[in-house]
Amino acid sequence: MGKKSPRKGSSISTNSISTNIEKVAQSLFEEGAERASFLEAIAQGERAVTAVVTLRGEIAQVGNSATQRPAWLPDWISVAAPEERPGRSEQHQAGEIYCLDLSSTFACATLSQLAQPTGILLDVCAAPGGKGIVGARYLSPQIVIGNEVIRKRTLQLISNYKRCRMDPALVTSCDPESLAQRILHRADVVIVDAPCSGQSLLLKGLAAPGAFHHATISMNEGRQRRILANSAKTVAPGGALLYSTCTFSREENENNIEWFLKTFPEFHAVTVDLLAPYRSRYSSQACYRLFPHQGHGAGAFCALLQREGIRSSLEICIDEITDTLRPTWRSPTVFALRPAPIKRQETEHSRKAQRGKWKGRDDKGSRRFKRFTADDQE
Residue 253 has pLDDT above 70, yes or no: yes
d(C-alpha 18, C-alpha 209), whole Å: 11
**Average pLDDT score, the chain:** 86
Sign of the torsion angle spanned by Cα atoms 280, 286, 287, 289: positive
Q: What is the pLDDT of residue 378?
A: 30
Give the long-range contacts of residues 87-92, CB within 8 A, separation 24 or more.
Answer: 87/2, 87/50, 88/2, 89/1, 89/2, 91/1, 91/57, 91/60
17-31, 119-133, 175-189: least confident range: 17-31
Q: Tell me, yes or no, whether 71 lies in a domain.
A: no
Report if residue 361 sits inside a domain.
Answer: no
CB 213 within 8 A of CB 165: no
Q: How many CB atoms lie within 10 A of CB 3?
A: 10
- The reply to whether 315 falls in a domain is no
Helix (H, G, I), strand (E, B) or coil at 189: strand
Angle at 206 between CA 95 and CA 105, to 5 degrees: 45
In a domain, 109, yes or no: yes
Among 37-46, 190-199, 221-230, 237-246, the least confident range: 37-46
Lowest mean pLDDT of 68-82, 163-177, 239-253, name the range.
68-82
- Report the pLDDT averaged over residues 259-270: 98
For the segment 33-61, what is each residue's pLDDT rounded down to a tens digit? 999 999 999 988 877 899 999 998 778 77
Confidence at residue 351, expressed as pLDDT on a 0 to 100 scale: 56
Q: Is the pLDDT of residue 127 over 90?
A: yes
| Mean pLDDT score, 280-292 | 97
Range of the domain at 200: 103-307
pLDDT, position 342: 64
Least confident of 23-37, 195-209, 211-225, 317-331: 195-209
Q: Is residue 116 part of a domain?
A: yes
Query: Alpha carbon of 294 to those of 67, 183, 297, 342: distances in Å?
Result: 12, 39, 8, 56
Q: How confident is the model at residue 369 (pLDDT cuts 50, 70, 90)?
A: very low
- The dihedral of CA 318, 319, 322, 323: what is its sign? negative
Residue 5 lies in a domain: no
Q: Cα–Cα distance between 271 and 310 in angstroms, integer?
A: 19
Q: Per DSSP, what are the bridge partners of residue 290? A: 300
- How many residues can be counted in the chain? 378
Model pLDDT, residue 63 = 61
254: CATH? 3.40.50.150
Q: 22 or 311, which is more confident?
A: 22
Could you give the C-alpha distances from 36 to 25, 299, 369, in angstroms and in order? 9, 16, 51
pLDDT at 340: 72
Calpha distance 133→171 (Å, rounded): 13
Query: In angstroms, rounded to a whole number, what is the distance separating the alpha carbons of residues 112 and 73?
Result: 10
Rg (CA), the chain: 22
Q: How confident is the model at residue 352 (pLDDT cuts 50, 70, 90)?
A: low
The answer to whether the Cα torsion of 317, 129, 213, 30 is positive or negative is positive
pLDDT band at 82 (very low <50, low <70, confident <90, very high): confident
CA distance linking residue 341 with residue 199, whole number of Å: 45
pLDDT for the residue 3: 43
Q: For residue 330, how far is the Cα from the chain centroid? A: 19
Confidence label for 64 from pLDDT (cuts 50, 70 and 90):
low
Q: Is residue 4 domain-resident?
A: no
Q: At 345, is the pLDDT very low, low, confident or very high (cuts 50, 70, 90)?
A: low
- Per-residue pLDDT band for 70 (boundaries 50, 70, 90) equals very high
Distance CA(347)–CA(151), nearest Å, equals 32
Q: How many domains does the chain have?
A: 1
Share of the chain above pLDDT 70, in %: 84
Specify whether the CB–CB gap between 106 and 246 falls below 8 A. no
Q: Is the pLDDT of residue 68 over 60?
A: yes
Q: Report yes or no: 253 and 24 within 8 Å, Cβ to Cβ.
A: no
Alpha helices per DSSP H over the chain: 19-28, 33-44, 90-93, 102-108, 130-139, 151-163, 176-182, 214-232, 254-263, 318-325, 332-337, 348-358, 363-376
Task: Give domain status of residue 135, yes or no.
Answer: yes
Q: Which of these, 16, 94, 99, 92, lies nearest to 53 by C-alpha position?
A: 99
Among 155-164, 188-197, 239-248, 359-368, the minimum mean pLDDT is found in: 359-368
pLDDT of residue 202: 85
pLDDT at residue 11 above 50? no
* 236 vs 252: CA distance, rounded Å: 25
d(CA 320, CA 328): 16
pLDDT value for 45: 80
